[in-house]
Amino acid sequence: MKEPYDIMIVGQSVPRVDALSKLTGNAIYAGDISFPGMLHLKLLRSDRPHAKILNIQTEQAERHPGIIAVLTYKDIPVNRINLGKPDQPVLCDEKVRYIGDPVALVAAESAESAEEALPLIRVDYKDLPGVFSPEEALLPETVCIHENDNLLLDRTVLKGDAEQGLKDSEVVITNTYRTQMVEHAYLEPDAGVANYEEGRLTVWMPSKYAHADLRELAGVLGLAVDQVRVVNTTIGGCFGDKTSLSPGYYAALASLRTKKPSKMVFSREESFIGSRKRHPFIIHYTTGATREGRIVAVKVEMIADAGAYAASTPGVLVKALIHATGPYDVPNVFVRARSVYTNNPVAGSMRGLGVPQVAAAHESQIDILAETLHLDPFEVRLKNGLKPGSFTATGQLLRESVGLAETITKVKEEISRRGIPKASGSKRYGWGTAAMFYGIGAAGRPNPGRSVIEANDSGDFELYVGCGDVGQGSSTVLAQIAAEVLRCKTEKIRVIVGDTDCCPDSGVTAASRLTYVVGRSVQIAAQGLKELLQRSAASLIEIAPEDVRFEKGFFYPPEAPRRRISVAQAVKRLKEEGLSPRAEGVFDPETKALDPKTAQGSPMATYAFATQGALVSVDVDSGEVEVLSLVACHDVGRAVNPAGVTGQIEGAVSMGLGYALMEEVLLKNGRILNPSFSQYFMATSLDMPETQSLLVEAEEPSGPFGAKGVGEPALIPTAPAILNAIYAAIGFRAKELPVNPEGVWRFLRSVPEKGTDDPGATPGVKGSS
Amino acid sequence: MVTRPDRLLLDLLREDLGLTGTKKGCERGECGACTVLINGKAVVSCLIPAFKADGAEILTVEGMAEGDRLHPLQQAFWEEGAVQCGYCTPGMLLSAKALLDESAESSVEEVKRAISGNLCRCTGYTKIIQAILAASEKIRKNGSKVPRE
């Protein structure tokens, strides 16, 4: 919709609505909440990857001083979570399926007592063979982790004829890529507090979807939904996790059973062991193209390790499936994506939902294609890139808001302008690039955003949304959208988030959907409220509503600005008429479900596009890779808050750098070997490159003021851009993540001449020599 | 106040004094979220027994602003968009304050080093570094002792 007024608030880097409380130490995170007489909780977790539970004896632990209760599966009415695929117990009953699977819950007067009681619980197990490799999980003779075989999901994309397309291709490139397991590593360890009082359970937790947590909690505890209230606390980072079976669930169980307020906070090690992970993928990728570099066919087969339970694997796998060809117009496509159960830690949703994994593959492939054909990698991307009028791999016609080409061109220009540093000493330099597209919101199913806005007696506004601000700044963006429509400063909008008693169900904070989906619902709600107020003001001024102007909190006739009516007066009038100064907005993006066999359909209403370029230096003596610069160009539709957008990009660069070069959850027979920040390496301030954010605003007509989203898109191209830069610098084509110095060093030893000769056979992005 | 010999400063601040602005991120001195100043020096309060701080001046995030007047670092973090989830923010502010109290003429490299023990998973550090440099400039302009907004 075109706005009949000048845009004033949207597009401004308005300071965050929650910054002040966070800067003064006043923001309340779940771990900061305490009640007098509160119980402290600890989980006994399985120390073995796969075993039958024969018996659990809790008596000795119950007798330990300070212990109030020891709870097991017997205390849980419906001991399965995950409404889509109810395969995961809250506390294990028949079996344990990964190291860390929760078996018993201790509620004690102090955290120390709870800790002391854990070894006093006796669990008799019968060990079963462990399954740790996703390929092994698929073999018919492998033990089943759940009832049937270990295949959790098997989906395909079929478009055109990929086999024929490959036969017709003049160049065919086949490679296998492996990506690693990654920890979300939000700084706030998982925590939750619950209090059962007068027949009602209140749970305070860092929830990205309070309404879903409420439904699931009520379900497992055998309570009616109106007996549970979930209140969102400040979320200290999430990146897709902090969902389902978080400490809030156990606090709720304990409080319900003991009738005392209960609190659980994970230690960092427990957060590593008990939280979900980014899926490791194995990706077999074949690209067929003409001699001119036009992609004819793509064939992909991939396996994702889901770990012990389904969790959010279906959503992740489908996103990986439909984005597997990358942001390119490919006429013939075959993609098969399978996910399998193993006895590894549970994988879940993490920023990008499977797309960072496939992007590492398709962006390496297109670089290899360019190099093979002696073409400029930017030109090959432009030649094949999606543009208005293109069809995606799922057969979706992209009509508008396709800014890919502009992002490619801008990054190319910026990189060319900067040039490549000359090799010096043991340092070699190279620029690499990578592009991506990412569908905003859930794939091929309804994901409505809802919001409610109210004007109060003093003429300010209260905006109610169910979706938590995980730190990305959604509350600020939503307030800006409301302020824009209601012609006021952002400070006039108070945002109330994630309290199931007063907020509507806005859907989950995930899939980069908040600005686009919930933001649009806020725009609709604010528009509705504005019209209500305008009618009321018009009746006071005694002119037609359409003749009323509205600016800075006042309604007035354009020819007589002094006959103005304030929002507060309009509210008063509405109330006198028995009307409520309140409006609701609902927006559900138009999608077409995916065909179950071919995955053809229009799964998302809009897509974000991006290209990034990375400059690396590689030390040919030590194998160390340093990322020096990162140029990130993103088509966000419209940047509602440019500082928020660049903040997302810069944060994603640090996470993408970690994905490419340092982060990996190391496993041995299902056990995490590095569950601490001193062993799991993430980027520090010393690792960060200089980052330049460039924005493209190819407006999305269905989005609020044209906006799409950026949270996950920002991450997706970073790692492949770094991989391609390493190739440009030294000719090392890494196909396994992360690339560590040892791997680079081994490569350099195996082909010593590569480190000193000019490997930059690729025009456009050359390495230095 | 009286405390047990094994009571950590972090727990004393958070649980006994109710100063929950200081955050617990790892309890092993690896993330920097619990950084406070003891006699002006930045330390991770999860590794310090509380009794070791007996008689010392301890500054937590709650003590940075003077009433409604934010410290220039807080103001700069706000204006530069250096806050996302906010969990690392108190520790970052105090590590930065220790640096700027020593010298308000810090280089980018010195700023990076001063916060290299404070992990942040949201911001990529870029805006945090910008904010510290901006605050440093403001403090230089206004004189080291009267920089309040």
Q: Token digits for B106?
A: 């810090």
Tell me: the pLDDT tens digits for A491-519? 999 999 999 999 999 999 998 999 999 99
Name A307's Cβ contacts closer than 8 Å, sequence gap at least 6. Answer: A98, A276, A277, A341, A342, A343, A344, A345, A346, A347
Neighbours of A151 (CB within 10 A): 13
Measured in whole angstroms, the distance separating CA A629 from the mean position of its chain's CA atoms is 24
- For A183, the closest chain B residue by CA position comes to B121
Locate A710 and state its tokens: 């950026």
Residues B49 and B81 in one domain: no
> What distance in Å separates residue B52's CA from the closest CA in chain A?
22
Cβ contact A239–B124 (<8 Å): no
Superfamily the domain A33-128+190-265 falls into: Aldehyde oxidase/xanthine dehydrogenase, a/b hammerhead (3.90.1170.50)
CATH number of the domain encompassing residue B113: 1.10.150.120
Say if CB A381 and CB A435 are below 8 A apart. Answer: yes
Q: In this complex, do B30 and A644 lie within 8 Å of one another by their Cβ atoms?
A: no
Determine contact, residues A526/A492, Cβ cutoff 8 Å. no
B91 assigned to some structural domain: yes
- pLDDT above 50: residue A217: yes
User: Is B60 close to A25, i.e. CB distance below 8 A?
Assistant: yes
Fold classified for A277-442+596-756? Aldehyde Oxidoreductase; domain 4 (3.30.365)
Location of each CATH 3.30.365.10 domain in chain A: 277-442+596-756, 448-587
**How large a percentage of chain A has pLDDT more than 70?**
97
Q: Which residues are CB-neighbours of A213 under 8 A, at least 6 positions away?
A: A203, A205, A207, A230, A243, A244, A246, A248, A249
Question: For A609, left (φ over 0), alpha (ψ -120 to 50), or beta?
Answer: beta
Question: CA dist B11 to A234, B42, B45, Å?
Answer: 20, 17, 8
What is the rounded average pLDDT of the residues A20-43? 98
Whether residues B49 and B103 share a domain: the answer is no
Residue A82's pLDDT band, with cuts at 50, 70 and 90, is: confident
State the residue range of the domain holding B126. 72-142
Per-residue model confidence as pLDDT tens digits over A435-468:
999 999 988 889 999 999 999 999 999 999 999 9
Angle at CA of residue A394, ends A391 and A400, nearest 5°: 40
Query: In this complex, which of A19, A239, A654 lies closest to B83 when CB atoms are compared?
Result: A19
Rounded CA-CA distance A72/A107 in Å is 11
Give exposure, A585-614, as e/b (b: 16+ Cβ within 10 Å).
Answer: bebbbebeebeeeebbbbbbbbbbbbbbbb
Whole-angstrom distance, CA of residue A92 vs CA of residue A97: 9
Whether residue B93 sits in one domain with residue B47: no
Which of B19, B94, B126 is the best mutation test for A, with the most CBs of A within 10 A? B126
Residue A724 CA from chain centroid, whole number: 24
CB count within 10 Å of CB B17 equals 14
What's the CA gap between A153 and A150, in Å, rounded?
9
Q: What is the DSSP secondary structure assignment for residue A234, as one 8-state letter?
A: B
| Residue A767, pLDDT score | 46
| Mean pLDDT value across residues A268-281 | 97
What is the residue-wise DSSP string for A516-544?
A: IIIHHHHHHHHHHHHHHHHHHHHHHHTS-
Distance CA A149, CA A340 (A): 9
User: What's the mean pLDDT in A685-705?
Assistant: 97
Contacts of B24 in chain A (CB under 8 A): 31, 189, 265
Query: Within 13 Å of residue B85, how many CA atoms lie on the same side as its CB?
Result: 28
Helix/strand/coil for B49? strand
- pLDDT tens-digit map of A625-649: 999 999 999 999 999 999 999 999 9
Task: Specify the residue for token string 């937790």.
Answer: A205
pLDDT tier at A753 (50, 70, 90 boundaries)?
low
Indicate the average pLDDT of chain A: 95
Chain A neighbors of B28, CB-CB under 8 A: 268, 676-678
pLDDT for B149 beyond 70: no
Q: Using CA atoms, how far apart are residues A604 and A602, in angstroms rounded to an integer?
A: 6
User: Are B56 and B79 within one domain?
Assistant: no
pLDDT digits (tens, 9 = 90+) for A105-131: 999 999 999 999 999 999 999 999 999
Is A306 a residue whose pLDDT tops 80? yes
Whether residue B148 lies inside any domain: the answer is no
From CA A695, how far away is CA A636, in angstroms rounded? 7
Tokens read off for A211: 């309404």
In a domain, residue B2? The reply is no
Q: With contacts defined as CB-CB under 8 Å, which chain A residues touch B127?
A: 643, 646-647, 650
- Whole-angstrom distance, CA of residue A247 vs CA of residue A546: 52
Summarize the confidence of residues A686-713 as an average pLDDT: 96
Residues B52 and B96 in one domain: no
**Which pLDDT tens digit goes with each residue over A540-572?**
999 999 999 999 889 999 999 999 999 999 999
- Examine the pLDDT at B147 and tell me if it is beyond 80: no
pLDDT at residue A634, as a whole number: 98
Residue type, position A648, single letter: Q
Which tokens hold the place of A492?
């006039």
What is the identity of the amino acid at A211? H
The fold for domain A448-587 equals: Aldehyde Oxidoreductase; domain 4 (3.30.365)
SS3 state at A57: strand
b/e per residue A620-630 (b: at least 16 CB within 10 A)? beebbbebebb
- Encoding tokens for residue A552? 């800075």
DSSP string, A417-435: HH--PPPBTTEEEEEEEEE
For A32, the closest chain B residue by CA position comes to: B20
The answer to whether position B110 is within a domain reads yes
The label of the residue with tokens 């959604």 reads A474
Note whether B57 and B88 are same-domain residues.
no
Q: How far does the CA of residue A33 sit from the closest CA of chain B (Å)?
A: 9
- Strand-strand pairing, A228-232 and A200-205: parallel
Q: What's the whole-number mean pLDDT along residues A27-40?
A: 98
When CB atoms are compared, the residue of A184, A237, A265 closest to B87 is A237
Overall number of domains in chain B: 2
Q: Averaged over A695-703, what is the pLDDT?
A: 96
Distance, in Å, from the CA atom of B140 to the CA atom of A195, rounded to the nearest integer, reads 50
Tokens of A536: 């009321």
CB contact under 8 Å between B125 and A685, yes or no, is yes
Whether residues B78 and B135 fall in one domain: yes
Q: Choosing among A13, A21, A22, which should be mutated to test the B contact, i.e. which has the most B CBs within 10 A? A: A22
Could you tell me if A484 and A445 are in contact, meaning their C-beta atoms sit under 8 angstroms apart? no
Q: What is the pLDDT of residues B118-131, one digit of tens each?
A: 999 999 999 999 99
Residue-wise pLDDT for B80-114, tens only, equals: 999 999 999 999 999 999 999 999 889 999 999 99
Q: Following DSSP, what letter does each residue of A99-160 receive, concatenated?
A: TT-EEEEEEESSHHHHHHHGGGSEEEEEE------HHHHTSTTSPPSSSS-SEEEEEEEEES
> Shortest CA distance to A508 belongs to which of A353, A657, A629, A732?
A353
Axis-axis angle for helices A355-372, A313-322 (nearest 10): 20
> Closest partner residue to A676 among B30, B90, B112, by Cβ?
B30
Q: What does the longest C-alpha to C-alpha distance in chain A come to?
A: 86
The candidate with the shortest Cα–Cα distance to A463, out of A364, A346, A582, is A582
Query: Which of B27, B78, B84 lies at the smallest CB-CB distance from A473?
Result: B84
> CA gyration radius for chain B?
15
Task: Confirm if A731 and A759 have CB atoms less than 8 A apart.
Answer: yes
A724 with A377: CB under 8 angstroms?
yes
> Across the interface, do A237 and B62 touch by the CB < 8 Å criterion?
no
d(CA A522, CA A587): 9
What per-residue confidence (pLDDT) applies to A3? 56
Distance from CA of A146 to the nearest CA of B (A): 34
Which stretches within A599-717 are classed as H helix?
642-661
pTM score, whole prediction: 0.96
Q: Residue range B18-43: average pLDDT?
A: 98
Q: Which long-range contacts (CB under 8 A, 24 or more apart) does B139-143 make?
A: B139/B72, B139/B100, B139/B104, B140/B104, B140/B105, B142/B72
ipTM, interface predicted TM-score of the complex? 0.97
Does B77 lie in the same domain as B53? no
Cα separation values, B115 from A120, B72, B84, B111, B119, Å:
42, 17, 16, 6, 8
Q: Which residue out of B35, B87, B94, B109 would a mutagenesis test of the A interface target, given it has the greatest number of A Cβ atoms within 10 Å?
A: B87
Q: Measuring CA to CA, which residue among A25, A22, A17, A30 is closest to residue A473?
A: A17
Q: Which residues contact A158 (CB under 8 A, 6 or more apart)?
A: A333, A334, A597, A598, A599, A600
Q: How far is residue A144 from each of residues A134, A301, A748, measured CA to CA in Å?
A: 12, 23, 43
Domain for residue B149, yes or no?
no
What pLDDT was estimated at residue B146? 45
How far, CA to CA in Å, does A527 sit from each of A6, A191, A575, B61, B124? Answer: 15, 38, 19, 40, 36
**Per-residue pLDDT at B143:** 66
Q: How many residues does chain B have?
A: 149
Query: With the C-alpha atoms ordered A83, A84, A90, A93, is the resulting torsion angle positive or negative?
Result: positive
Q: What is the dihedral of CA B85, B86, B89, B91, to 10 degrees?
A: -100
